[in-house]
């Protein structure tokens, strides 16, 4: 019974691929039918995942997504398929779907550093907007490289895209302080503290900026 069910799944996948490719399904080779009787759910899920990856490489993204969905529907703990489903959703700016899929990856692989990063990124895209958060991250990279002028520019741009982006004010203040602009640092940190009044670290840096003025 299970073999017949898996066979039907596999045949459906082959027929679906033919239709998606613009082909006409005239008949199904009986050899494929006989072979597919031995295919397990795990084997079918792998076939669907492989087809999805092939389609993704051909930039047939919507079709690839459907095959990844088929793979994880068949095998719910298929971490690699969940990863690529999440990544593909993200690349298509399907933020809610990507956030959901990244959570699935983390549920299966809690120590996956990439999944942790991207899951957090999706939450911040939802909260602050993609452009604002990506610009803020550019500021973070510049700051870590010691390019405070570039960091300041990016943080200011991020804030202009979303005035409620609290981390942007915080790091704008720190970057300005590092660049020797204590007045600008005070202004940014005071604004940050109106959004996060209980932040002791920000209060410390504000006191340092006032001392440097």
Summarised one tens digit per residue, pLDDT across range 129-185 is 999 999 999 999 999 999 999 999 999 999 999 999 999 999 999 999 999 999 999
CA atoms lying within 13 Å on the CB side of residue 147: 11
Q: Is the pLDDT of residue 39 over 70?
A: no
Asked if 203 and 172 count as a contact pair (C-beta separation under 8 A), the reply is no
CA–CA separation, 105 vs 89, rounded Å?
13
Fill in the DSSP letter of residue 7: H
State the CATH number of the domain containing residue 204. Answer: 1.25.40.10
Summarised one tens digit per residue, pLDDT across range 60-83 is 999 999 999 999 999 999 999 999
Residue from 23, 22, 11, 21 nearest 48 by CA: 11
* Residue ranges making up the domain that contains 140: 129-213
Domain annotation covers residue 161: yes
Domain annotation covers residue 123: no
- pTM of the full structure: 0.76
Phi-psi label, residue 36: left if phi above 0, alpha if psi -120 to 50, beta otherwise: alpha
Q: Is the pLDDT of residue 119 over 90?
A: yes
What is the count of structural domains for the chain?
1
């Amino acid at each position: 019974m299970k073999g017949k069910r898996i066979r039907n799944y596999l045949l459906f996948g082959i027929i679906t691929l033919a239709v998606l490719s613009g082909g006409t399904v005239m008949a199904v080779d009986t050899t494929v039918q006989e072979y597919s009787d031995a295919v397990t759910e795990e084997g079918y899920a792998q076939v669907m995942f492989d087809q999805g990856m092939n389609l993704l490489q051909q930039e047939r993204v919507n079709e690839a997504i459907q095959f990844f969905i088929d793979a994880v529907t068949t095998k719910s703990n298929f971490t690699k398929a969940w990863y690529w489903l999440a990544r593909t959703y993200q690349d298509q700016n399907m933020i809610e779907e990507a956030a959901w899929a990244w959570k699935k990856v983390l549920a299966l692989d809690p120590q996956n550093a990439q999944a942790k990063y991207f899951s957090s990124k999706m939450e911040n895209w939802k909260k602050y907007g993609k452009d604002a958060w990506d610009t803020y991250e550019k500021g973070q990279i510049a700051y870590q490289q010691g390019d405070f002028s570039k960091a300041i520019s990016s943080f200011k741009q991020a804030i202009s895209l979303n005035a409620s982006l609290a981390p942007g004010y915080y790091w704008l203040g720190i970057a300005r302080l590092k660049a020797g602009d204590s007045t600008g640092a005070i202004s940014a940190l005071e604004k940050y503290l109106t959004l996060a009044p209980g932040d002791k670290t920000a209060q410390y840096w504000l006191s340092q900026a006032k001392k440097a003025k």
